[in-house]
């Protein structure tokens, strides 16, 4: 017998094809989307408006299987992090960040990352594999269920710090459903645009009114600058775009973000301009980690202004979150303020990201998970260090 198909990782088109192969009509796919994603149901027997014989076929041929949860940690500031098992000794991390008017889920797309940015702990672990669509959307599926359960368990005690539902209309939500996640950012482990096919399926599910019904403006893909796939995303499923910039010139960015050697800044800025033609927002968000003595001088800020002058944008300055053996330091607060003020004075919207969840290693750049590195990055790095020391 063949393995059961995991319906969690199928978008509307994929579910329709699967139902057609079973001799079912297209509306069955819409019913399954609503049961699986809106109601978070994994038990086919509970899907009461499906025909009994169809439920029997589903039980025999399909499943709804998210990644298993290995660890569940909650920070003192309410940030919550899950470690999810994706098999073969690999685990990825997902983070929920609650705020007064929104709840943001940060999802991972790869076990590890091949980009190897200098300031990111994920990259230091190397790369194992791309996640499947069910493993990406499964993070949202699981978080919805876990947050709803925590809130239900805490209702007798309103002071417990459990998440509150996001206010306002919820597109695509089941009648009476409470929604705790209003925004999703692809800013967890991995480079989303290097796992494009699976990322695209997850995006389509997030936007589908029969599934999660999120607005394109509230789903953000963050990339280190995979230029051809930025163009593909613009054509296939334009959502909000964030670019991990981190340097104002090619010489420095080559060191901080090695992908820049393949797609230098001039190509990246041109891709950003093209993306804005179809983007749901009228600006690109540039992320910029603040590294003491590396990229945080007044001159760096002025270079940035010159670099982005033709790209409507906002800057998100990120205080560096240290991790073992990084060799880097966080820019002092006064330096971050001065850097940001130069950008603001030039008319560029600039914010400083508030560090959340750093007591559970859930802050930006700290997600590491557990990765069986197929690139042998650690061995290659140690050999490089040894050669340098010999010199």
Q: What is the pLDDT of residue 332?
A: 97
The catalytically annotated residue of 19, 24, 93, 191 is 93
Q: How many residues does the chain have?
A: 391
By CB atoms closer than 10 A (0-12, 13-18, 19+), residue 48 is: exposed
Q: Which two tokens stand for residue 165?
A: 């539902």
* Whether 269 and 329 share a structural domain: yes
CA gap 222, 242 in Å, rounded:
4
* Whether 128 and 54 share a structural domain: no
Q: Which two tokens stand for residue 219?
A: 């789903």
Q: What is the pLDDT of residue 385?
A: 33
Could you give the C-alpha distances from 130 to 47, 90, 112, 143, in angstroms and in order? Answer: 31, 11, 9, 20
The catalytically annotated residue of 120, 237, 313, 364 is 364
* Whether 307 and 279 share a structural domain: yes
Considering 40, 63, 86, which residue would you say is the last residue of a domain?
63
* Whether 56 and 193 share a structural domain: no
Q: What is the pLDDT of residue 156?
A: 65
pTM of the model: 0.89
Give the list of residues 6+ apart from residue 150 with CB closer than 8 angstroms, or none. 162, 163
Q: Which two tokens stand for residue 110?
A: 């790869």
CA gap 72, 371 in Å, rounded:
18
* Whether 97 and 23 share a structural domain: no
* Whether 175 and 37 share a structural domain: no
Annotated catalytic residue 287: no
* Whether 115 and 156 share a structural domain: yes
Q: What is the pLDDT of residue 190?
A: 95
CATH number of 383's domain:
3.20.20.70
Q: What is the pLDDT of residue 188?
A: 93
* Whether 17 and 126 share a structural domain: no
Number of domains in the chain: 2
Considering 19, 38, 63, which residue would you say is the last residue of a domain?
63
* Whether 55 and 139 share a structural domain: no
Q: Which two tokens stand for residue 322?
A: 């240290």
Q: Which two tokens stand for residue 170?
A: 């919820």
CA gap 194, 259 in Å, rounded:
11
Q: H/E/C letters for each residue in 240-283? A: EEEEECCCCCHHHHHHHCHHHHCCCHHHHHHHHHHHCCCCCCCC
CA gap 86, 105 in Å, rounded:
18
Residue 56 domain boundaries = 5-63
CATH number of 56's domain:
1.10.150.530
Q: What is the pLDDT of residue 176?
A: 38
Alpha carbon 175 to its chain's center: 28
* Whether 157 and 36 share a structural domain: no
* Whether 136 and 170 share a structural domain: yes
* Whether 44 and 133 share a structural domain: no
Q: What is the pLDDT of residue 384?
A: 35
Crossing angle for the helix pair 227-236 and 196-207, nearest 10 degrees? 30
Rounded to 5 degrees, φ, ψ at 108 are -100, 155
CA gap 108, 212 in Å, rounded:
18
From first to last of the 391 residues of the chain, give the pLDDT tens digit.
578 999 999 999 999 999 999 999 999 999 999 999 999 999 999 999 999 999 999 999 999 999 999 999 998 888 999 999 999 999 999 999 999 889 999 999 999 999 999 998 877 888 999 999 999 999 999 999 999 998 888 776 545 556 676 644 333 344 335 678 999 999 999 999 999 999 999 999 999 999 999 999 999 999 999 999 999 999 999 999 999 999 999 999 999 999 999 999 999 999 999 999 999 999 999 999 999 999 999 999 999 999 999 999 999 999 998 887 888 999 999 999 999 999 999 999 999 987 655 655 544 544 556 778 777 655 545 433 332 332 3
CA gap 344, 121 in Å, rounded:
30
Q: What is the pLDDT of residue 151?
A: 86
Annotated catalytic residue 93: yes
Torsion (CA) 341, 343, 349, 353 in degrees, nearest 10: -60
Per DSSP, the residues of 326-385 read: ----BPPHHHHHHHHHHHHHTT-EEEEPPP-SGGGT-STT----B---SS-HHHHHHHHH
Considering 44, 63, 82, which residue would you say is the last residue of a domain?
63
């Amino acid at each position: 017998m063949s393995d059961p198909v995991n319906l969690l990782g199928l978008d509307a088109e994929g579910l329709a094809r699967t139902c057609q192969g079973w001799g079912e009509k297209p509306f069955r796919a819409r019913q399954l989307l609503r049961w699986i994603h809106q109601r978070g149901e994994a038990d086919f027997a509970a899907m009461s408006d499906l025909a009994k014989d169809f439920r029997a076929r589903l039980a025999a041929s399909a499943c709804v299987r998210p990644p298993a949860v290995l660890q569940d940690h909650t920070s003192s500031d309410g940030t919550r992090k899950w470690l999810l098992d994706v098999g073969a000794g690999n685990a990825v991390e997902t983070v929920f960040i609650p705020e007064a008017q929104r709840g943001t889920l940060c999802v991972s797309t790869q076990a590890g990352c091949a980009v190897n940015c200098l300031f990111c702990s994920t990259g230091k672990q190397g790369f194992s594999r791309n996640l499947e669509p069910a493993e990406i959307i499964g993070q949202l599926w699981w978080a919805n269920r876990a947050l709803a359960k925590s809130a239900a368990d805490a209702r007798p005690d309103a002071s417990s710090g459990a998440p509150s539902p996001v206010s306002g209309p919820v597109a695509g939500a089941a009648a009476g459903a409470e929604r705790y996640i209003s925004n999703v950012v692809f800013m967890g482990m991995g480079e989303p645009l290097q796992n494009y096919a699976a990322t695209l399926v997850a995006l389509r599910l997030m936007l589908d009114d029969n599934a999660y019904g999120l607005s394109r403006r509230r789903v953000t893909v963050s990339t280190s600058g995979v230029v051809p796939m930025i163009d593909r995303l613009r054509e296939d499923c334009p959502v909000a775009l964030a670019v991990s910039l981190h340097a104002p010139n090619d010489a420095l960015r080559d060191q901080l973000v090695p992908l820049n050697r393949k797609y230098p800044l001039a190509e990246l800025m041109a891709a950003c301009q093209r993306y804005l033609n179809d983007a749901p927002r009228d600006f690109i968000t540039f992320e910029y980690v603040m590294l003491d003595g590396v990229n945080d001088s007044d001159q760096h800020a002025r270079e940035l202004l010159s670099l982005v002058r033709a790209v409507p944008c906002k800057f998100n300055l990120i205080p560096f979150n240290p991790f073992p053996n990084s060799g880097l330091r966080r820019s002092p607060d006064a330096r971050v303020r001065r850097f940001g003020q130069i950008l603001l004075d030039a008319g560029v919207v600039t914010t400083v990201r508030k560090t959340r969840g750093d007591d559970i290693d859930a802050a930006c750049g700290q997600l590491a998970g557990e990765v069986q590195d197929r690139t042998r990055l650690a061995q290659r790095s140690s050999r490089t260090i040894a050669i340098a020391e010999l010199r």
